[in-house]
Amino acid sequence: MRSVVSFLVAASVLSPLAAIAEVQPHRAEYTLRLGAAANAPRIGTAVHDLTQDCAGWHLKRDIKTEIALTTSWKMSLASKLDSEETRNAFRYGLAQTQNGTTRDVKGKIQRQGGEKGGELKADIVFGTNPPAQFVLPPPTLLPMAAISHLIERLAAKAASFPALMFDPEVIGDVFLVEVTEQDRATLRGARPADKPVTLPPGKSWPVFMNFSRGRNQDTKPIFSVTALVFDNGVLDRLTVETGLLSVTADLASLEMRKAPVCPRS
């Protein structure tokens, strides 16, 4: 489950809401395939539905897959995330199902002392287990703030950089993400079976990202992601390599939305 759903963690990758980068609300649908070959078999879909109001961001992500590695071994996976993020807090509910068995997770990340406070405290409940409570490293970014940070650093022509981000879907903890801008010629091309999607205007960057556990300072990557990142937060041409399998995601449809007009504080 975690190896498959991690591809859209890149959309939560990597400065708070007032950062220079302007992430735009949007709804993106993706086609998932097993492997990077042009004729790779389709294994599912993913929907990334991001809205914004003057209080912050609301993200719903719905991933459904069915993988048949052999004629007798099949795995059905689903993941649903519903989250809200403000400058100082991130709340989420997550339901992940594998072959009919569902695991529910509820979490809250809160910055202590408001905007001028320091540490972030996590309070996460995995199913019926007692709450897991821990402190995140001071530089940890919340998911939507992390996207702004990624774009801001790329726009500033940073060839490579690290970032710490909280991930609710794969490990329920902090990832260390090491980002490197790639040559555009290395980007995986469109598949012949894909219908053309009108991509957003503006600048984009092909990137390579290694994900490892950040809170325990474990530098061994869990998985890597390549993607095309647009300056409004849209991602395309994702490829996740876990060492055991490769999962790819390509835009199937895209709806851009207007950001709210909010009074200045």
Q: For 182-201, how does the pLDDT look when each residue is reduced to its tens digit (9 = 90+)?
A: 999 988 888 887 888 998 88
State the average pLDDT over residues 85-101.
94
In percent, the amount of the chain with pLDDT more than 90 equals 68
In contact, 48 and 11? CB cutoff 8 Å: yes
pLDDT of residue 114: 59
Q: Which residues pair with 50 in a beta bridge?
A: 26, 59
- Residue by residue, DSSP assigns 49-89 as EEEEETTEEEEEEEEEEEEESSSS-EEEEEEEEEEEE-SSE
The secondary structure element, H or E, covering residue 160 is: strand 160-167
In contact, 152 and 19? CB cutoff 8 Å: yes
Q: Per-residue pLDDT for 104 more than 60?
A: yes
Tokens of 25: 């609300």
Q: For 5-22, how does the pLDDT look when each residue is reduced to its tens digit (9 = 90+)?
A: 444 444 444 333 333 457
pLDDT band at 3 (very low <50, low <70, confident <90, very high): very low
In percent, the amount of the chain with pLDDT more than 70 equals 89
Nearest to 69 by CA among 100, 102, 35: 35
Cβ neighbour number for residue 248 with a 10 Å cutoff: 23
SS3 153: helix
- Please give the Cα distance from 201 to 204 (Å, whole number): 9
| Residue 197, phi then psi, degrees to nearest 5 | -120, 130
pLDDT of residue 80: 97
- Please give the Cα distance from 204 to 59 (Å, whole number): 22
Could you tell me the pTM of the whole model? 0.88
